[in-house]
Structure 1
Amino acid sequence: MVYGLFFGDSITYGEYDGVFGGWVDILKRYALQKFHEGNGDELILFNLGIGGETTEGLLKRMPAELSARNSSDGNLVFISYGANDLAIKDGVQVVDPGKFKNNIITAVQQARQFSSDIYLVSILPVSKNIDGVVTGSGKLRSNEEVIAYNEILKSIAADYSLGYIDFYSALIRDKEILLSADGVHPNEKGYGMMAEVAIPIIERYI
């Protein structure tokens, strides 16, 4: 059986989705259903999202997580970060663009020891209500920074021949109805749309 490892923050974890549990959990159920229907090989998906995590936290735990979930039949690795890295708190960016790029490259190099199927996942747009505004959490996010950090992810994906999952483009047009009240996390509809984008990718391995 092939393992799929989803590294990320609260959006990977599925926060604010009390119905489906987020996009990764939707994919987990989909893969399991396909297997039980006799429509493919077994694909076990692990949701390794941690709320609030940045690429700094990822690098600390990634080697252990990869070693603990290493399938002899192969692994898929999904890396979904940036929403917390790009945030500005107390006037300072949590992880600046240069450090973010280096961290993602390091994570890719770690993942390559276990997998040749690696996907970088785009950062979602934020709602107009919080674009450039300091929220109750004390963090400021802007769509300008989201676009800039997504360009970093796209360039790394191109340079290292990785997959790139463009959730940003899928949600940008209707973001005001696909994001939850906090303007950062998707709601059930948003997570459902993300799963629709990702299902064709995991179907390649079922």
Structure 2
Amino acid sequence: MTKTTYATGAALLQALLLGACDAPARDQPAAANAADPAAAPAATVPVSGPKRIVLAFGDSLYAGYSLSRGQSLPDAIQARLRAHGVDATLVNAGVSGDTTADGRRRLAYTLDRMTPAPDLVMLGLGGNDVLRQLSPAETRANMTAMLDELAKRRIPVVLTGMLAPPNLGPDYAAAFNAIWPDLARRYDAPLDPFILQGVLGNRQLMLPDGVHPNARGVGRVADRLAPLVERRLAALPGSATAPQRP
């Protein structure tokens, strides 16, 4: 995206922060874009159990925009899973700038070229839709198509959601914000309602553009998402803690 787009996005996300988030220390100086010690936690138990592949399919918030190699959200989640003894490999299929329409076009192609198929997909798109003020109906249709594709392939999903800023109007926000909870119920998918919760607006956790988390912010998001992914993996067939068939 262009600098103008990012400036617009930062303004929209700040509006979202004021309307929906409670992030502290907004007036503190920006922190350096350096890895937080929590980004690579020390292992607490040996890695064991079935080998799992998790496809992280999203936009720049997954891709690791402006971060160093190994600092992306999938990297941080993988480190936390392995620290808890989960033998999971996260494949980063985040593409900066992708809308839900872009994701819809490339999902089947991505899945077709994965051998073996992923055991789980983290699906995180929608941020660029709201920055471009695309129709919520279009966003919903694209998300539904991707979830239908995953359901057809019998691949379970964890959803990371997005919210619309209130300055886009109550009708837009109501239509947009309902997409992820509705689809999570319809497809029985665990949901993190807002991927930037707890980091947006905190300068110590965000890049100067005000849109993307820095490495410390990514660590905070991963702290929240890793347990969600871990629980979903534990429920898969073949896991030690999965329900056993009679």
| TM-score (normalizing by structure 2) | 0.63
Where do 5+ consecutive residues of structure 2 fail to align?
A: 1-50, 235-246
Partner of 1:203: 230
Partner of 1:191: 218
Change (3 A) 1:97 1:121: same
- The one-letter code sitting in structure 1 at the alignment partner of 2:156 is D
Partner of 1:151: 178
Following superposition, the deviation at residue 121 of structure 1 comes to 0.7
Partner of 1:77: 121
Q: Does 2:206 match 1:175?
A: no
Change (3 A) 1:146 1:66: farther
Query: Superposed, which structure 2 residues align to 1:54-203 within 5 Å?
Result: 54-71=99-116, 75-88=119-132, 93=133, 95-123=134-162, 149-168=176-195, 170-171=197-198, 175-177=201-203, 178-203=205-230
Where do 5+ consecutive residues of structure 1 fail to align?
A: 133-141
Partner of 1:13: 63
Q: Which of the pair is proportionally richer in strand?
A: 1
Percent identical: 24
Say which SS state the counterpart of residue 152 (structure 2) adopts. Answer: coil
Say which SS state the counterpart of residue 120 (structure 1) adopts. Answer: strand
Change (3 A) 1:76 1:56: same
Say which SS state the counterpart of residue 76 (structure 2) adopts. Answer: helix
Cα displacement string for residues 77-121 of structure 1 (whole angstroms, at most 9, x for unaligned residues): 111111111123xxxx3x311010000000000111334421211
Inter-partner Cα distance in structure 1 for 2:178 and 2:206: 22
Inter-partner Cα distance in structure 2 for 1:148 and 1:179: 27
Deviates more, 1:12-21 or 1:103-112: 12-21
Inter-partner Cα distance in structure 2 for 1:190 and 1:151: 26
Inter-partner Cα distance in structure 1 for 2:164 and 2:212: 9
Inter-partner Cα distance in structure 1 for 2:183 and 2:175: 13
Question: Quick check: 1:124–1:171 contact (8 Å CA) kept in 2?
Answer: no
Say which SS state the counterpart of residue 130 (structure 2) adopts. Answer: coil
Say which SS state the counterpart of residue 197 (structure 1) adopts. Answer: helix
Question: Quick check: 2:58–2:93 contact (8 Å CA) kept in 1?
Answer: yes
Following superposition, the deviation at residue 170 of structure 1 comes to 3.3
Partner of 1:30: 80
User: What count of residue pairs does the alignment treat as equivalent?
Assistant: 181
**Higher RCO, Cα 8 Å, sep 6+:** 2
Partner of 1:137: none
Change (3 A) 1:108 1:191: same
Larger radius of gyration: 2
Cα displacement string for residues 4-60 of structure 1 (whole angstroms, at most 9, x for unaligned residues): 1111111110113338522211122334555xxxx34x3221000001011111111
Question: Quick check: 2:59–2:97 contact (8 Å CA) kept in 1?
Answer: yes
Question: Quick check: 1:86–1:146 contact (8 Å CA) kept in 2?
Answer: no
Question: Quick check: 1:75–1:115 contact (8 Å CA) kept in 2?
Answer: no
- The one-letter code sitting in structure 1 at the alignment partner of 2:162 is I
Question: Quick check: 2:57–2:124 contact (8 Å CA) kept in 1?
Answer: yes
